[in-house]
A and B are shown apart, each in its own frame.
Chain A
Amino acid sequence: MIPLSWYLYLSAALFAIGLYGVLARKNAIAILLGIELMLNAANINLVAFWRYTDPAQMAGQVFAIIVFAVAAAEVAVGLSLVISIYRARKTVIADELDLMKW
């Protein structure tokens, strides 16, 4: 069987790529895509720990399902924010949205 640590390396790599996307991309939609990737990486961790530590307890899978629901809610609100920002400012580039900048 594949060692648990390999799954953790993989999910750490995906999380790091997602984090870099969140910090470096300028497009607001690309930032949301990075957040999705990070949530997904965390989910791999949850399911891998469930499988390798105590599979009789279904807690890991339950947490993964709850993360799905949270991700869906986050995307719905995030994208509607993007739409309403686009209506107001005609841009979704994060650097140009500096209304609150002093």
Chain B
Amino acid sequence: MSLELILFFVLAIIAIATALGMLLSRSAVYSALYLVVNFVSVAIFYLLLDAPFIALSQIAVYAGAIMVLFLFVIMLIGLETLGGELNWRQLVWPLAMGILLLVQGVFLVIQRVGRDVYIGQTGTQLSDPSLMARVLFTDYLLPFQVTAVLLLVAMIGAIVLSKREKSNQEA
């Protein structure tokens, strides 16, 4: 069995297990944290697929920005009262999975960063982000601009929706 296969299976097991953990855990904070681990494992899948730029934006956008927003809202609303002592026995499985993910991630980064996959007659380098940028800014310019408008609309919508009314503020 090749190394790639072993990596795939371990990652798949971690991804499925954390997704199930997200589904089954009662507490919203734990659900969100399971989903963070799931997103990191999916990012390592992208490294396995020779898409390092996608992998790093997955970590920055999903595991970073989006999940922080989720945790922020969970804490803000105060759904959770995480009471009681920290039980060290509970930490064994998350710790094991986290260390496993870290080892795989570091291994793949070391293995893949130096590796160039060339395709086609002209020999374009697969993991080169500038190749993707050229396509994004030429062939897909219109979808890109529409995405920009979408983000602007979402930002305005979020501000308007979560803004307090003047009358509520005094009450």
Contact = CB atoms under 8 A, between A and B. Distances in A.
Interface residues of B, number: 65
Interface in B116-144: 117, 119-120, 124, 126, 131-132, 134-136, 139-140, 143-144
Contacts of B139: 59, 62
Contact of A68 (B22, B61, B119, B153): B61
A13 B42 CA distance: 13
Contacts of B126: 55
Contact of A80 (B38, B143, B162): B162
B70 to A, nearest CB: 7
Main secondary structure of the interface of A (DSSP, over half): helix
B150 to A, nearest CB: 5
Interface of A: 1-2, 6-7, 10, 13-14, 17-18, 20-21, 24-25, 27, 29-30, 32-34, 36-37, 40, 43-44, 47-48, 50-51, 55-59, 61-62, 64-66, 68-77, 79-84, 86-87, 92
Closest 7 CB pairs of A and B: A73-B154, A80-B162, A80-B161, A58-B135, A80-B158, A76-B158, A17-B19
A24 to B, nearest CB: 8
B69 A75 contact: yes
A1 to B, nearest CB: 7
A36 B19 contact: no
Contacts of B168: 87
B16 A13 contact: yes
Given A37-B38, A40-B42, A61 B147 contact: no
A14 B54 contact: no
A61 B51 contact: yes
Contacts of B15: 10, 14
A86 B164 CA distance: 12
Contact of B151 (A2, A21, A24, A72): A72
Contact of B147 (A27, A48, A51, A69): A69
Contacts of B132: 58, 61-62, 65
Contacts of B8: 2, 6
A36 B36 CA distance: 11
B35 A80 contact: no
A86 B73 CA distance: 11
Contact of A79 (B51, B57, B69): B69
Contacts of A61: 51, 53-54, 132
